[in-house]
Amino acid sequence: MTAENGGEPVGSGGPDRKGSIRERILAAAVRLFGELGYTETTMERIAAEAGVARATVFNNYASKEKLFDAVASTHYVGFADCLRAENDPDLELRVRLDNALARWSSSFATHVDAVIPVVHSWVHAGGPLLPGSDATADLLAEMIGAEQAAGRLGSERSPIVMGRAASDALTGTLLRWTTDSNPTAESLSEALIATADAIRFE
């Protein structure tokens, strides 16, 4: 099969070659999602950036949504996943939150340059307004509700409202961090802990 636009043909090479092509496509997608945003990045542009045929991109990823999901899952660990790992109910809420924030920040340490375009693309795509984006807020609300039921936290405020407020504050901190001149995992951790300090769980 002949390559389109000067790109490589679909299915060229063996398994190692296939892996190399997928890596090139992912790398190209990271660059373009970061530079152009989700909407302006097309599969055609990704193919040209990766130096492969448009059909090759679709052969590896059925849609732009699937490709973005692959980029995100490769380079980004969700905060909700880190919260779920802190499942010891005997620990105070703030200790569990700090542990999750430390885990989240450290997950960025080896690929900060790749994470930032993913976060920017997430924002361009609608970010906190996308379906399923309430996972962190819902989990925080569940944890807050459990603390209230155990009598370790005041019950005057709705856990749902508190969970959403905390999630929004942490998301805002993450977005601001991506605009720093020299963003690092350490600076993100410091900023997130400062945000958690400002959140009053009473």
CA distance 91 to 86: 9
Tens of pLDDT, residue by residue over 7-64, are: 544 444 444 455 589 989 988 988 888 778 778 889 999 999 999 999 999 999 999 9
CA distances for 101 relative to 57, 84, 154, 170, angstroms: 35, 12, 23, 9
**HEC secondary structure over 35-55:** HHHHHHCCHHHHHHHHCECHH
CATH topology of domain 76-198: Tetracycline Repressor; domain 2 (1.10.357)
CB 196 within 8 A of CB 94: yes
| Domain spans, the chain | 15-73, 76-198
pLDDT of residue 54: 95
CB 43 within 8 A of CB 62: no
pTM of the complete model = 0.69
CA distance 24 to 111: 16
CA distance 97 to 85: 11
Q: What is the pLDDT along the chain (202 residues), one digit of tens a residue?
A: 334 444 544 444 444 455 589 989 988 988 888 778 778 889 999 999 999 999 999 999 999 988 888 877 776 777 888 899 998 888 889 899 999 999 888 887 767 777 777 777 776 666 666 556 678 899 999 999 999 998 988 888 899 999 999 999 998 998 899 888 888 888 999 999 999 998 877 6
CATH topology of domain 15-73: Arc Repressor Mutant, subunit A (1.10.10)
